[in-house]
Amino acid sequence: MSKTRFFDEMNGYGDEPRALYARVAEWLQRTPPEILATRRAQAELMFRRVGITFAVYGGNDDTERLIPFDIIPRIVGHREWSKLEEGLIQRVAALNMFLSDIYGPREILKAGILPPDIIYKNPYFRPEMSGRRVPHDVWVHIAGIDLVRTGEGEFFVLEDNARTPSGVSYMLENREVMMRLMPDLFSSYRIAPVDNYADALLAALRSVTPATARGEPTVALLTPGQYNSAYYEHSFLADRLGIELVEGNDLFVKDEIVYMKTTEGPKRVDVLYRRVDDEWLDPLSFRPDSALGVPGLMNAYQAGNITITNAVGTGVSDDKAIYSYMPEIVRFYTGQEAKLSNVQTWRCREPDSYKYVREHLDELVVKEVNGSGGYGMLVGPHASRADIDEFAKKLDHDPANYIAQPTLALSTCPAFIDDAVVPRHVDLRPFILTGSNGSRVVPGGLTRVAMREGSLVVNSSQGGGTKDTWVIEDTNLDAGKPDAKTPDSKNLDAKGA
């Protein structure tokens, strides 16, 4: 495997650093590994002190682990970022219009763009929301959209997260640590700040206050509690926003109004930033065994007395089946082509695609439409002939249940692993905030790193790490290919083998 097979964030396809990374490359040149190791140890200490951990279930004293942090930043250029930003805002606008439509007039089904069963049979479709409007027609107030890069100017959306996307605390804490650990390198660039994220989020949340609220809106963050894996993030955000961090037991509903129990008696809540999934929100409407929720919350919601963010039922817009239709969805609602490309996806429910997939099983990744966590999936380039034949039978039995994608050539970024600087695959999750006055993207995001050599798995539950993400404001550092065209995504085929 030559390292030039993948696009590298620092070196592109060659050995010369891209203009954006020249200063980082020089810094890596002159900094001995011992110093890098010391910095890494200091960073870890800082993370432990603030307690930025995630819970791992089933352990004893080790139930709290740090997500590995890599000290070499991931850098996005000014022009790259501007294009991403436009694409992200367009995509989120389309997601919101799609949700208003699906729970409203369903024009997109009438127009025959989507097969209806993809909505009605979707486990995340909430019939309770049918015919409901949400304040300002905003459903997805906070979106996290996972991007991967395969070349200069070539970004693809891998996944939309429109339910309760997490990770933004790492974006903020990573920045904090980098500014303290390497002020010189940091100040050698003009890096767009991220710490206004909390203000922007609070403004977005306050802007969607329900019409029946009186006076200053009260916003609260609903957490499943301290044993949830993202609890640190919940408390961190509540703190930065200056709002109460509530659990289900802190809230109650009376006459279709939600109150929190305070030392001064009940206090009305107007906007609930929930980090609890739909099915646990209200035991009277969803899972009756939920101890995390608030009985009667859905009644208050439907009466228009509280805004829940993200809205109930957004899950229907971010699963694999819908993902494959995002280019059509964007076109239908915005009248424009999608500015951010999807990874090419073959829907086996369509005869032509099915035929193509059937003939290229050894090159493709084939997934179940509603599967998750890698279960029921074929990774063609890594599969044996027997595995492929076996899988082909399942596919033939129910083609509509499968989609296929090319194996992606995710870009790499230098990472300091053990005692050496080595390339590791990365993705990027920017966060898009939407309120009554439109959307904004805080310049930055969460860069996740697959810490093992050759691995494409960046999930923190599988040992993935994070990096600070720098969006550079200096326009003179942009790459030399101003209008790099979005490539024909078929070129992506099988590079990951």
Partner 1 sequence: MLARTAENLFWLARYVERADFTARIIDVTSRLAALPQSYRGDGGEWESALAAVGALNAFNASFSEPTESNVVHFLAFDETNPSSIHNCLEQARTNARTIRTALTAEMWQAINSGWLELKSFEERRRSGEYSGIESILPFLEFVKSVSLDFDGAAYRTMLRNDAYWFNRVGLYVERADNTARLMDVKYNVLLPKSEAVGGSLDYFQWTSILRAVSAQTAYHWVYRESVKPWLIADLLILRKEMPRSLIYCYDNLARFLDLLGKAYGMQASSQRHTRMVLRRLENTSMEEIFQEGLHEFVTKFIDDNNRLGGIIAEQYLLI
Binding residue (CB under 8 A) for partner 1 from 65, 190, 261, 481: 261
Among 3, 5, 48, 180, binds partner 1 (CB under 8 A): 48
**245 near partner 1 (CB under 8 A):** yes
Measured distance CA(194)–CA(462) in Å, rounded: 27
Bridging pattern class, strands 244-246 and 219-222: parallel
Binding mask 1-30 vs partner 1 (x if CB under 8 A, - otherwise)?
A: ------------------------------
Q: Is 231 in the site for partner 1 (CB under 8 A)?
A: yes
Contact mark string toward partner 1, 455..484, x via CB under 8 A: ------------------------------
For partner 1, which is the closer residue by CB, 267 or 452?
267
From candidates 19, 22, 25, 50, binder to partner 1 by CB under 8 A: 50
Which of 249, 336, 461, 491 touches partner 1 by CB under 8 A? 249
Provide, rounded to whole angstroms, the least separation between the CB of residue 491 and partner 1. 48
Q: Does 264 bind partner 1 (CB under 8 A)?
A: yes
Q: Does 238 bind partner 1 (CB under 8 A)?
A: yes
Among 5, 13, 51, 462, binds partner 1 (CB under 8 A): 51
Task: Give yes or no for residue 38 binding partner 1 (CB under 8 A).
Answer: no
Stretch of residues binding partner 1 (CB under 8 A), selected from 157-165, 258-266, 314-322, 469-477? 258-266
Contacts of partner 1 in 56-85 (CB under 8 A) = 61
Give the binding range for partner 1 (CB under 8 A) out of 126-134, 148-156, 247-255, 293-301.
Answer: 247-255
- Applying CB under 8 A, the span of 257-265, 283-291, 308-316, 399-407 interacting with partner 1 comes to 257-265
From 44, 128, 244, 473, residue interacting with partner 1 (rule: CB under 8 A): 244
Q: Which of 30, 49, 214, 385 binds partner 1 (CB under 8 A)?
A: 49
Least Å distance, CB 229 to partner 1, is 13
226, 459, 462, 475: residue in contact with partner 1 (rule CB under 8 A): 226
Contacts of 183 (CB under 8 A, 6+ apart): none
Closer residue to partner 1, CB minimum distance, 232 or 354:
232
* Interaction of residue 301 with partner 1, rule CB under 8 A: no
Q: Which of 29, 263, 384, 476 binds partner 1 (CB under 8 A)?
A: 263
By CB under 8 A, residue 246 contacts partner 1: yes
Confirm if 414 and 28 have CB atoms less than 8 A apart. Answer: yes
Q: Using the rule CB under 8 A, which residue among 97, 118, 260, 449 binds partner 1? A: 260
Interface with partner 1: number of residues (CB under 8 A)? 25
Contacting positions for partner 1 (CB under 8 A): 48-51, 61, 225-226, 231, 235-236, 238-239, 244-247, 249-250, 260-266
